[in-house]
Each structure stands twice: as C-alpha cells, then as structure tokens.
Amino acid sequence: MKNLKVGVKYCGNCNPQIDGPALVKKIGAEMPEAEILPADSPEIEALLIVSGCPVDCATRPSYRGRTVVVGGANIDYVSYNVSQLAGVVIKKLREES
C-alpha cells in the first residue's frame, strides 16, 4: 500500500469525551502506511478532523479533498462505541485511498 499523507486538525479540547491525540496515535500505529501531518501541510491527501465531543467545534482548514470527521464517539455523524473509533477511521481512510 502506498504512503497516505493524512493531515490532522484538532478542536480546542474544552469538553473532551474522547482522547483525540491518543486516538490519532492508535490510528498511526495500526495504519503504518499513513503519514500523520499537521492539517495545514500542503501535501496531504486526506484530512482527519478530531473533536473531543459531539459538538464538533474544530475549525476546518480550506481543504476540499477526502475528509473524515470524528466528533466524540461519532465518525462522519454516525455513532460508534469508543473502542471502534480507530478501526472505523482506518477503514474509511483505506477505502478511499
């Protein structure tokens, strides 16, 4: 599998229901083909927006490509068990790469 450059944008973490940085670390460990970069990196091929709660207040950079949104235990506005989050995000990133 090719190296997928994934930009990550976090919320301000004011009311976290999940540990966003730990989630991204787990995704990176379980998806070795992913290179995790800041959201404003010009070479990203996918954007992962991580908000610690369902309010999903993370600001969006001006990026028009593939995007996966985590808001608490929701991914792309569908609820999951917290233990499923990393696997679902990885599946979505791999499906579209």
Residues 25-61: tens digit of each pLDDT: 999 999 999 999 999 999 999 999 999 999 999 999 9
Q: What is the pLDDT of residue 97?
A: 58
Overall number of domains in the chain: 1
> pTM of the entire structure?
0.93
Q: Are 9 and 58 in contact (CB under 8 A)?
A: yes
Predicted pLDDT at 96: 66
What is the number of H-type helices and E-type strands within the chain? 2, 6
Domain at 25, CATH number: 3.30.413
Share of the chain above pLDDT 70, in %: 96
Sign (positive/negative) of CA torsion 71, 72, 78, 80? positive
How far are the Cα atoms of 6, 33, 46, 53, 70 from residue 56, in angstroms, in the given order?
19, 27, 18, 6, 8
Which domain does 9 fall in, by range?
4-95
Q: Does residue 1 register a pLDDT over 80?
A: no
**Alpha-helix runs per DSSP H in 1-97:** 20-30, 85-95
